[in-house]
A and B are shown apart, each in its own frame.
Chain A
């Protein structure tokens, strides 16, 4: 409470005192003390704290809530299986924070979470724009961060503490392009994308790789998320002569786009990318018009038996299938558990080193498309690749590439 009184006290000093103390301040200002977080006590017993930062409120609120649900489920699963055996069966303790879909809040909350708790690692934040900030803070605080966010920027700039076990935005782009060739021989694609980190990264991947994949991009339009009316955008798509639409969007915009296309009689195949496309709410909002629509994802609930088990558990609790990021989150939690096992210590530096050296090909920690995990120097997973997904009969199924497809692709 003293801290609250002091600035008020400042007010009462007069000008003269202010000026003389300012002079003293110039001298005192030479004294700088370094402050890091509180030193981590050597904890031989339980529990091990991991932090989770998700946008539970704000524009990503619905999805953030799903992520939190999955995070809790994952920790439950790890603990039920005996916790961290090399630490005497220590249980994982999840400490959550709401980043309110806001960059500034992410900045303060990440720091607060790290400095107010003895954490071993953190995970978050769903939206690439938010994760980038959390990563900045984590790097400076030397705290390992694991995330499913796809922006390629997360692997740039000599990061040592940021780990991205799933595919990158540029890989999404390549998958989308290849899927386009499955649907049409001469794809002429209109690309629309929301203009923050997620959309920009993916679309950049699209424009970079399209010529190499034999796909012609006839329209390339960033848009500001949350538009009042999708008609002008769809009008442009129509005018461009495209025979396919790639949309990189979060949920609401995607729903508007799909609906407006139907309204305006623009009947071309849509690849809804990832983001808003792969969550149950998309189907709920768009209904039958979602049938046959293609997308990409870094994880899906049918990629292997483990995923199906997780899906069943999640469905029992929450009544709908577990979506891409949430499922990936469960895998991430197990990856952290595996790293803790290996490190046999809750010290973040040791956990970080263990993650960097981790090689897994079985169990929930390898629950990724392709089923293998090994981190490169820049935090990428050597074996990560996206899967193509399609809405069929109200469910999102994996249809691409051949090795990962669980169901054949429906041509519409």
Chain B
């Protein structure tokens, strides 16, 4: 733990720090996803919707009104939280894979809408963050260290929240809903409310990541903000690492991100598909042989079987 804090002081290679920042950021996004997808088993493939909403909210506030992203990041979270209510109301009408499809559709709709909003949200061209140099109060840091610590803090927040929920009454209900929605409802759990609440929390956190990302890469456009890849990665790292566990997403990201970054730089110019092939292969391997995630390999307790007694009907 101490090591992680001292890292930026030791690692001078900007590329390596960039990998670490991505690990932290995507672990955080994975943790946010995991609350919904891992514990409550609501498998969303559209979390990019909230990522994008967070990113755009803070950017619009910054570029159009000069408001600091420290305020914007919270505003983005709130916007995402509010958006998740009607989106959830619609999507939760479907179950299982069709819920996933509906979430994909929502993220796509948002992307299409933002492609059209050329006046206040720059449409397809997107916009860059004004170069303010060294401006920590505006969430711009001269070197990587500032971003590193911010990402670390975000991940810490995500982990703390997950742990708190895990240990609370909400955690029990989440798992009950995840195991068998109908049975949970039958014994009196307010299933719609639980789903709505966890969705709001998950959306809020994901939006924070969105703001961070824009501030880090200096640029936003609808394709990047609502990128399907973000949705996929959010789910992927949790599944590979350990779905429904605290550290699962962290493990998953620690495995996948550096691998993909290194692959990208080794194969540099030419082999664009390889990295995703590796991701896909790892995902398939995990699903076929260790559906509860790789974290089972590291903790000594026996694998909790992923199998449910009855196949889910759509």
B269 touches A98 (CB 8 A): yes
Q: Evaluate whether A6 and B3 lie within 8 angstroms (CB atoms) in the complex, with A11-B250, A22-B156, A35-B12 already known.
A: yes
Are A24 and B20 CB-contacts (below 8 A) given A111-B14, A139-B131?
no
Tell me if B125 and A201 are in contact (CB < 8 A): yes
Most buried by B among A8, A10, A18: A10
Assuming the contacts A36-B143, A97-B268, asked whether A7 and B250 have C-beta atoms less than 8 A apart, the reply is: yes
Distance (whole angstroms) from the CB of B168 to the closest CB of chain A: 15
Residues in chain B near residue A34, CB distance under 8 A: 142-143, 145
Q: Are B9 and A136 neighbours in the complex by a CB distance under 8 Å?
A: no
A54 CA / B15 CA spacing, docked (Å): 19
Task: From the candidates A17, A28, A57, A136, name the one contacting B270 in the complex (CB within 8 A).
Answer: A57
Q: Which of B22-68 contact A (CB under 8 A)?
A: 23-24, 27
**Are A200 and B131 neighbours in the complex by a CB distance under 8 Å?**
no
Determine if B177 is an interface residue (Cβ-Cβ < 8 Å). no
A133 touches B219 (CB 8 A): yes
Indicate if B272 sits at the interface (CB-CB under 8 A): yes
Interface size range of chain A in the complex: 35 or more
Decide if B272 touches A32 in the complex (CB within 8 Å): no
Chain B binder among A99-107, A265-273, A348-356: A99-107
A129: contacting residue among B112, B141, B221, B269, CB under 8 A: B221
Bits for B249-266, please: 1 = Cβ < 8 Å to A, else 0: 011011000100100110
Given the interface contacts A3-B11, A36-B143, does A107 sit within 8 Å of B152 by beta carbon? no
Q: Would you call A285 an interface residue if the criterion is a C-beta within 8 Å of the partner chain's C-beta atoms?
A: no
CB-based contact B125/A157 at 8 Å: no
User: In residues 74-119 of chain B, which contact A (Cβ within 8 Å)?
Assistant: 112, 115, 118
> Is A195 interfacial (CB-CB < 8 Å)?
yes
Within 8 A of A (CB), among B191-223: 217-219, 221, 223
Shortest Cβ distance from residue A66 to the other chain B in the assembled complex, whole angstroms: 14
> Judging by beta carbons under 8 Å apart, are B20 and A7 in contact?
yes
Instruction: Name the CB-closest residue of B to A100.
Output: B272
Q: Which of A24, A136, A151, A157 has the most CB of B within 10 A?
A: A136
Contact residues in A for B9 (Cβ distance below 8 Å): 31, 33
- Residues of chain B lying within 8 A (CB to CB) of residue A38: 12
Q: How far is the CA of A107 from the CA of B147 in the complex (A)?
A: 15
Q: Closest Cβ of chain A: how far from B219's Cβ, in Å?
A: 5
Q: A32-B145, A200-B123 are in contact. Are A3 and B258 (CB under 8 A)?
A: yes
Interface check A297, CB cutoff 8 A: no
CB within 8 A of B145: which of A11, A35, A68, A98? A35
Query: What is the 8 Å Cβ interface bit string for chain A, positions 85-129, against chain B (1 contact, 0 not)?
Result: 000000000001110100111011101100110000000000001
Query: 6 closest A-B pairs (Cβ-Cβ)?
Result: A57-B272, A35-B143, A98-B269, A195-B124, A7-B254, A21-B1
What would be 7 A-B contacts, judged by CB atoms less than 8 Å apart?
A17-B1, A21-B1, A24-B2, A32-B145, A35-B17, A107-B217, A132-B219
